[in-house]
Amino acid sequence: MAKLVCVNVGTPHELVGLHGKKVLSAIVKRSVEGPVIVGRLNLEGDRQADLSVHEGENKAVYAYPSEHYEFWKRRFPLMDLSWGSFGENLTTQGLLEKTVRVGDQFAIGTAEFEVSQPRFPCFKLGTRFSTQDMIKWFLDSERSGFYLRVLREGNVESGNPIKRTVAKRNSQTITSIVRAEKKTK
């Protein structure tokens, strides 16, 4: 049974990148306790810094599998990688990119979601991890996580079970989309 490990939110603040360049980002998230309201475009307490690439119903909520954290902890052993470190709103367990398909629908708490697309990282993930190589490593690892559109607003909370309500068996998996994108790079 899949479950919601943690709910994470953040607001835009400055990150310092290479050569001291500052950039506004909301990639740094903090875990929250208790029920969190899911709105049509994001979670209560969460904001995006660059609405030209993060806005809209197709990128309302970002989910990332907790199973990937051990891989990244081995690559970044000195870095504190707490839940939300990849900018995800929902840290999940039991939903991996190789089995999640575009169009799959999930019920979490009283909210309902539909998988819309994988995450393709921008330079801000590299800034967050202090190396722009992170963008390539992220794609090469095929540990992308995925975006969700909100079908029904409601509440979610850490520990909620995640129930797949619709399985789109003829749709592409998140992994297959990431692999196709890697071939174009």
Bridge partners, residue 101, by sequence: 173
| Higher per-residue confidence, 115 vs 182 | 115
Name residue 27's amino acid.
I
Q: Parse the chain into domains and list their residue ranges.
A: 2-184
pLDDT at 84 over 80: yes
- CATH for the stretch 2-184: 2.40.33.20
**Closest Cα partner for 146 from 52, 65, 44, 46?**
65
* pTM recorded for the entire structure: 0.94
- Please write the tens of the pLDDT for every residue from 118-156: 999 888 898 889 898 999 999 999 999 999 999 999 999
- At residue 103's C-alpha, the angle toward residues 126 and 28, to 5°, is 25
Helices (H), the chain: 51-54, 69-75, 123-128, 133-141, 174-184
31 with 6: CB under 8 angstroms? yes
pLDDT at 50: 65
Buried/exposed 71-102: b ≥16 CB within 10 Å, e otherwise: ebeeeeeeeebebbbbbbbbbbebbbbeebbb
- Positive or negative: CA dihedral 107, 98, 3, 35: negative
Give the C-alpha separation, 12 to 77, whole Å.
Answer: 26
Using DSSP's 3-state secondary structure scheme, residue 124 falls into: helix
pLDDT at 104: 98
pLDDT at 51: 60
- Please write the tens of the pLDDT for every residue from 1-55: 999 999 999 988 888 877 778 887 888 899 999 999 999 999 999 877 666 666 6
102 with 116: CB under 8 angstroms? yes
DSSP for 48-79 reads -S-HHHH-SGGGSEEEEEGGGHHHHHHHSTTS
The Cβ-side half-sphere exposure at 168, using a 13 Å CA radius, reads: 14
